[in-house]
């Protein structure tokens, strides 16, 4: 292994892909910065990528400005149900929860499911769960030491006001005739609401000191969704993915997404993605071998904007950025893509 720090990078997206007003840009950047810093602090302390990415997500879920954990969208019944998933690129183990209520940090449950699965089979040869939903997920979390949090305490003034506003719109719509024009108006109304932040998720991707990658994603889901609905943030191979390099593939890759390929039938496909790809190389020096990791990272979105942050252990602070579509372009019909490259070095013992 390489000695010292340097070979670790965290890339986070706070309040994911959606719309980020100029008035709240500072808050979005701050939460992204804190998430990156928390992940890198974990990496500097020797934590593996999967633990660092979970730490970043906890910071994002705790922010009242994101649609994940605290401040999530309310469903039709006025309750908060969250989805989250996490994947370890080293073991390829995956953990997820769907439509879980009463847990402040759903990603901690997903991560605990992952770590418990890595311990092997249960008594009598039973296979441990990797994906739990609803009440079963909540009870499993509590039985494994994750404290419950009343759903009403997870709501914020913003999420409650959005729920009341959306409920009034639905009640008015139901009083009107349900012709083709009205159906179109409802769809447009839903799109406008989603454009104000209802589609957003949060996510992070990380590479650690040993070159392991991990990814995680968390979401409060769509506003006014039907109780029990599980979104793409919890689905295997859809919300996030992480896979270390192997003999046939020299690249390690971690991905976290917002939006879904199942939206292709819609007029406007709204979504975003953050990607980290890295490969290892060793350069011989006169007195020592220098081991390096070449890291490429990018973010892309079809929504109006996307807030991202990124940081390596060599950085004094995280860099943050709100990426926006070019002026005059149409969200859902246009694409923005940005990114960067860095080379991280360490001494091989």
Give residue-wise pLDDT tens across range 52-86. 999 999 999 999 989 999 999 999 999 999 999 99
For the segment 154-170, the average pLDDT, to the nearest whole number, is 95
pLDDT tens for each residue of 268-297? 788 899 999 999 876 655 555 666 889 999
CB 252 within 8 A of CB 278: yes
Query: pLDDT band at 179, cuts 50/70/90?
Result: low
Residue 161 has pLDDT above 80, yes or no: yes
Residue 201 is among the residues annotated as catalytic for this protein: yes
What pLDDT, on the 0 to 100 scale, is given for residue 11?
Answer: 87
* Count of beta carbons in the 10 Å neighbourhood of residue 142: 14
Query: pLDDT band at 1, cuts 50/70/90?
Result: very low
CB 108 within 8 A of CB 144: no
Q: Which of 156, 183, 201, 320 is catalytic?
A: 201
Please tell me which of 53-57, 169-173, 258-262, 319-323 the model is most confident about, judged by mean pLDDT.
53-57
What pLDDT, on the 0 to 100 scale, is given for residue 209?
Answer: 82
Q: Which helix (H) or strand (E) holds 308?
A: strand 305-312
What pLDDT, on the 0 to 100 scale, is given for residue 308?
Answer: 94
* Residues in CB range of 291: below 8 A, 6 or more apart: 2, 7, 280, 281, 282, 345, 346, 347, 348
Lowest mean pLDDT among 89-98, 195-204, 272-281, 319-328: 195-204
Residue 311 burial by Cβ neighbours in a 10 Å radius (0-12, 13-18, 19+): buried
What pLDDT, on the 0 to 100 scale, is given for residue 200?
Answer: 65
The conformation of residue 239, written as its DSSP 8-state character, comes to S
For the segment 168-194, the average pLDDT, to the nearest whole number, is 62
What pLDDT, on the 0 to 100 scale, is given for residue 193?
Answer: 41
* Residues in CB range of 267: below 8 A, 6 or more apart: 332
- Integer Rg of the chain from CA: 21
């Amino acid at each position: 292994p390489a000695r010292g720090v340097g070979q670790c990078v965290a890339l986070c997206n706070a309040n994911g892909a959606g719309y980020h007003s100029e008035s709240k840009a500072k808050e979005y950047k701050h939460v992204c910065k804190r998430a990156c810093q928390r992940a890198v602090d974990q990496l500097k302390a020797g934590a593996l990528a999967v633990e660092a990415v979970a730490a970043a997500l906890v910071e994002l879920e705790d922010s009242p400005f994101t649609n994940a954990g605290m401040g999530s969208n309310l469903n039709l019944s006025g309750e908060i149900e969250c989805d989250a998933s996490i994947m370890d690129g080293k073991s390829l183990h995956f953990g997820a929860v769907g439509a879980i209520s009463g847990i402040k940090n759903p990603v901690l449950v997903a991560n605990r499911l992952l770590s418990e699965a890595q311990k092997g089979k249960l008594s009598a040869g039973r296979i441990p769960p990797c994906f739990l939903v609803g009440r079963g997920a909540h009870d499993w979390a509590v039985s494994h030491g994750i404290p419950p949090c009343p759903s009403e305490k997870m709501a914020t003034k913003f999420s409650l006001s959005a729920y009341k506003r959306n409920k009034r719109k639905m009640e008015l719509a139901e009083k009107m005739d349900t012709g083709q024009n009205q159906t179109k108006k409802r769809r447009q109304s839903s799109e406008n609401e989603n454009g104000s932040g209802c589609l957003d998720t949060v996510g992070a991707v990380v590479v650690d000191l040993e070159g392991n990658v991990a990814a995680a994603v968390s979401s409060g889901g769509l506003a006014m969704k039907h109780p029990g609905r599980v979104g793409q943030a919890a689905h295997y191979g859809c919300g996030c993915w992480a896979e270390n390099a192997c003999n046939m593939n020299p690249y390690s890759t971690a991905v976290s997404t917002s939006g879904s390929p199942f939206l292709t039938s819609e007029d406007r496909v709204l979504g975003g993605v953050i990607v980290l790809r890295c490969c290892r190389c060793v350069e011989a020096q006169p007195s020592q071998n220098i081991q390096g990791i070449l890291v490429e990272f990018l973010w892309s979105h079809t929504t109006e904007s996307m807030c991202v942050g990124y940081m390596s252990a060599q950085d004094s602070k995280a860099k943050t950025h709100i990426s926006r579509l070019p002026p005059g372009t149409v969200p859902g019909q246009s694409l923005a893509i940005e990114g960067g490259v860095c080379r991280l070095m360490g001494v091989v013992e």
